[in-house]
Structure 1
Amino acid sequence: MYEWKLNEIVDNDLCASCGTCAIVCPNNIVVFEDGPKLKEECLRKGHGMCYDICPRVSSGGYQIRIRGDFKEKEEYYYGKGDIEGQNGGVVSTFLKYLLENKKIDGAIVVGDECWKPVSLIIQNPEDIEKSAKSKYAISILDALRKAGEIGIERVAVVGLPCQISGLRKLQYFPYLAKYDGELGKNGKILKLPKIQYLIGLFCNKKFKQRSIEEILEKNNLNMEDIEKFDIKKDKFVITTYNNEKYSIPLEDIEYCEGCNVCRDFDAQMADISVGCAGSPENYSTVIIRTKKGEDIKNAIELKEGVNIEFIEKMRKLKMDRFKREIERRRNSGEKISYYWITDYGGVGKRADNTYFIRIRAKPGGWYSTEEINEIINTSKRYNGKIKITNRGAFEIHCIDPYYVEELVLELNKRNFITGSEGPLVRAILACPGGGNCSSGLIDTSELGVIIDERFKEYPAPYKFKIAISGCPNKCVRPQIHDIGIVGVKYPETNENCNGCGRCADVCKVEAIDVRGETSYTNYNSCIGCGKCIRACPNEGRDIKEEGYMIYVGGKSGREIIDGISMKLMDIEGIINLIDKVLKVYTKYAQKPQRERLGAVMHRIGTGKFLEEVKLLMDGDV
């Protein structure tokens, strides 16, 4: 056996048998025989894309959901297609629609050779019907790899929940793994088609092909005799072409061991989920999860009235089996991968293999005494330690992975958001601001709340940091943030000035010159701190201009870059600017999780970047 990092999943019966690892290997050395294994030595011993893509290593669910255009509330329907297929032929009819309307160039489905599942590429709509049967044995979607090799660019993929999870990770791989893909021995990244639609199938468990063949042999049946397989309640139903039916108890059929640690009955990462549960006989339930999934409404007449309670029951049955297996493994000391932890934001692994949970900082870092007590008491209950980050967030550290999900859900119930980690808009850093600090010119907390309501956990190519400084002292370093905001107040002299010089005394940048009975401001030096206005004993200084000065494209860390300063804006302008900067940043970013805003601006040209932002702000694009 070759050394392979994924053996920690495969050898511990955690493997979902989804086959994603075999699809993405650039050297094509992962083979699938009742499970994945290496057929020759891997130079990096599996420390690459096969491991990072595995849905049993991590789900990547949180980052996927904030990027995947998922609907706030799923839509439940049932329907029947115009192609004969398992439970109404809904999937086949939808695929035919997508092909006929040129929305995809090919469909990746599971067909069969004498009921042995094989992965197929279908480009001709008329060929769809040939694959229109449910396959209950383990299969992988390796035709996706072949589709890339022959130049197919856009595909729809039909798969089981585990396969959908792996392929969703593939769609957003750079955001999850922080690199574009693994280089093969030829120095290139494997070319795969763009997945336009993911269609998930309801699944309780996957049976081993060998076990199905043994069942048939016991009943003196050949694969060639079988018209269809089906699952009815707790029976595996075999129907022959002679219309003979055989009902086999499900417990008599060996299934994939990794199914015990699966908690997804209805492919919750799919654009559309389809299955017979919850719908009338010969119909299929259709769950629309994304805006893209709504396209199925153009292909099939959908009806309301799905038995959602029954679907919830099936979900619970699978979740209960999952919980029993995790508890059994915990008690026996067997490996648990805790892949589902990444369904939640703000969760990270520590060097000692325990976890931390980051609570997204309140805007400006303000907390009530009650909120702090709740965080402290919650941490105590889970034997955690508390760290306060430099952005004012609380992190609860040293948490046993077994309790991470429970802790996150408890925090959510107490109205704390876990997050502010990864490629998204981070918690806003702000100084105390006006009303709290004697130098503050603006209410930083109020502005922080407005920005946070609009951009909280908003996806970005890389971390995106915003800072608000109440005055030009810039205590929170706004100039080295992706977006920096500074409250400013510029003075002008009025007729009450008598040249007493008090304004010059308080000016720290020596921008004021007193000549005779009046004072003059050098606006090339003035930073707009407003101190001279407040300090004048004669009310001899008025506000010439006030508002928010903006910096765009700054950063700190390995490389320190000062942002580009912009003209003064009001709050509405700031929201518009942030929105358009994020859009242009996303458009031009080539290396997710590696390229900060300032780097993208430098690469394409700061002038070009800001001009495009301006056009979007003005509504000219």
Structure 2
Amino acid sequence: MNDKHRLIEQHGYIKQQEDGLYAIRVRTIAGNLTSVQLHNLADLSDRYGNGQVHITTRQSVELHWIPEKKLDSIFQEINELGLLIAVRGPRILTVIACPGIRLCKKGICNTINLATQLDALMVGRSQPSKTKIALSGCPNSCAKPQINDIGLHGVIVPIADSGCIGCKTCETVCKFKAISVQDGKPHIAVEKCIGCGLCVRICPNHALHIHKQGYSLYMGGKIGRKPILGNKIFTVIPEQEAISYIEIVLHVYNQLAYKNERIGDVINRIGLNSFLQEILQHVPEC
């Protein structure tokens, strides 16, 4: 297999049911495309396929009904247009993300920035099996980080300070009853708090502050025929250190996994505690 065909084999084409026809997959960064890129994708679909454009669940774009004889030329055009060919097989796949703090009022972290860095650093890297990463800007988890091999969502840990006026606004807005006003001061039930930070934002007298802010990190989630819900292994990691933590998880995964074994399958085989102990050996503060 020559280099050109190896490149195509490793990237986003899928055989359709009809003989000789393929779907081509183009990835995005956090689901974002410019108007020019959209026009170019529409033009490619018109000239090579049947004019249909499909948005995948992982924020990629598929062009359907591409004849096999046109695969080389469409891949060449995709590259020339600066579009990103999707990745498939035993590699780190497209990083999906919600808009995060750039757009959403509930956003805590800059998911777009992190997704852009991860795309440049990691997407396409060989792994024991396909590896999916998802980023959400807050605990609402719109990008479903808990069902990805590695998932992160933004989190704020609040802390009470002086200045409470007893309005109980924080009690009212907290859907998880994690905060109550007692003796003129907010009291936070840490075990109930999900880290949305709404109480901090809404306090009229600034009696609540951010104690910690960053990402919660999950690993081992997946869907498919045997779904697994990911395990939260860190409640709060600093936003600027998220890449380092992801690298640690990937390093341990590569050391422990058999061929074609997802992170969740490794955890099921050796146990969460064993996997976590390996991770903690590489975390400086642990």
Is TM-score (shorter-chain normalized) higher than 0.5? yes
Q: Following the alignment from structure 1 to structure 2, what is the Cα–Cα distance between the partners of residues 573 and 510?
A: 31
> Residues 558 and 60 of structure 1: is their aligned pair in 2 closer, same or farther, counting only changes over 3 Å?
farther
Counterpart contact for 2:228–2:264, Cα < 8 Å: yes
1:479 Cα offset (Å): 1.3
May I ask how many residue pairs the two structures share in their alignment? 282
Q: Following the alignment from structure 2 to structure 1, what is the Cα–Cα distance between the partners of residues 220 and 39?
A: 37
Within the alignment, does 1:515 sit opposite 2:188 as a pair? no
Which position in structure 2 is the counterpart of 1:603? 269
Whichever residue aligns with residue 266 of structure 2, its letter is V
Gaps of 5+ in 1: 1-54, 63-340
**1:472 partner SS:** coil
Greater share of residues in strand: 2
Question: What is the percentage of aligned positions where both structures have the same residue?
Answer: 35
1:376-427 per-residue CA deviation (whole Å, 9 max, x = no partner) reads 1121111332110011111111101110110011000111121222221111
Which position in structure 1 is the counterpart of 2:99? 432
1:60 Cα offset (Å): 7.2
**1:396 partner SS:** strand
1:431-466 per-residue CA deviation (whole Å, 9 max, x = no partner) reads 111131111111110111112111011111211111
**1:566 partner SS:** strand
Deviating above 3 A after TM superposition, structure 1's stretches of 4 or more consecutive aligned residues are: 616-620
Q: 2:24 aligns with which of 357, 361, 370?
A: 357
Aligned pairs for 1:453-472 (under 5 A) are 453-472=120-139
Aligned pairs for 1:278-317 (under 5 A) are none
Counterpart contact for 1:500–1:517, Cα < 8 Å: no
Whichever residue aligns with residue 263 of structure 2, its letter is L
Which position in structure 2 is the counterpart of 1:414? 81
Counterpart contact for 1:553–1:597, Cα < 8 Å: yes
Q: Following the alignment from structure 2 to structure 1, what is the Cα–Cα distance between the partners of residues 114 and 12?
A: 24
Q: Following the alignment from structure 1 to structure 2, what is the Cα–Cα distance between the partners of residues 558 and 367?
A: 31
**1:391 partner SS:** coil
Which position in structure 2 is the counterpart of 1:61? 6
1:348 Cα offset (Å): 1.5
Which position in structure 2 is the counterpart of 1:495? 162
Whichever residue aligns with residue 277 of structure 2, its letter is E
Q: 1:557 aligns with which of 198, 216, 224?
A: 224
1:492 Cα offset (Å): 1.5
Q: 2:173 aligns with which of 503, 506, 518?
A: 506
Which position in structure 2 is the counterpart of 1:615? 281
Which position in structure 2 is the counterpart of 1:535? 202
Q: Following the alignment from structure 2 to structure 1, what is the Cα–Cα distance between the partners of residues 285 and 133?
A: 24
Which position in structure 1 is the counterpart of 2:146? 479
**1:395 partner SS:** strand
1:234-281 per-residue CA deviation (whole Å, 9 max, x = no partner) reads xxxxxxxxxxxxxxxxxxxxxxxxxxxxxxxxxxxxxxxxxxxxxxxx
Counterpart contact for 2:49–2:63, Cα < 8 Å: no
**2:250 partner SS:** helix
Counterpart contact for 1:553–1:598, Cα < 8 Å: yes
Which position in structure 2 is the counterpart of 1:394? 61
Q: Following the alignment from structure 2 to structure 1, what is the Cα–Cα distance between the partners of residues 195 and 70?
A: 51
Higher alpha-carbon Rg: 1
Within the alignment, does 1:580 sit opposite 2:263 as a pair? no
1:567-620 per-residue CA deviation (whole Å, 9 max, x = no partner) reads 32224532222223223222332242xx21111122122222222233244499
Which position in structure 1 is the counterpart of 2:12? 346
Gaps of 5+ in 2: none
Output the TM-score relative to the length of structure 1: 0.43
Larger RCO, structure (CA 8 Å, separation 6 or more): 2
Q: Following the alignment from structure 2 to structure 1, what is the Cα–Cα distance between the partners of residues 279 and 209?
A: 33
Counterpart contact for 1:347–1:358, Cα < 8 Å: yes
